[in-house]
Amino acid sequence: MKKSESLLWQKIKKLNLKGQIFRIESTTINGIPDVYWLINNKSIWIELKSNNVKNFGLSKYQINWHLTHYKNGGVSFILREALSHRPSVDYQIAVVREPRTVIELAKFKNLKDAMNQVPRLTGLK
């Protein structure tokens, strides 16, 4: 995970979210998301991004992983901390769907609001 994404993970940990949430680091599975969250008997995978890049800067492996996971009934999304020169930071929640497209579901001004909405946005609440 890149340094800025590691900092985003540290911010998430400080939120003391409900459920079980932890960071995954894998050198054996291409594209697997950075974070696993088990909440209300449901599993959510989260890919962390801190950038302003088109398509959220996802690799082809990450796109393939999200598409395959979705096709098999899994829930996953991308959480991007949009970096900019503006004083405010935007947090965006997105999903990957066919035809290999990143679809933004919502934007938030703070991380806590974004993470609290994840279960609702992903259809788990």
pLDDT for 82 equals: 85
Residue 47 pLDDT > 90: yes
pLDDT for 123 equals: 67
Residue 2 pLDDT > 70: no
* pLDDT tens by residue, 11-44: 999 999 999 999 998 888 899 999 999 998 999 9
Confidence label for 120 from pLDDT (cuts 50, 70 and 90): confident
* pLDDT tens by residue, 72-85: 999 999 999 988 75
HSE at residue 68, side-chain half, CA atoms within 13 A, is 10
pTM assigned to the model: 0.89
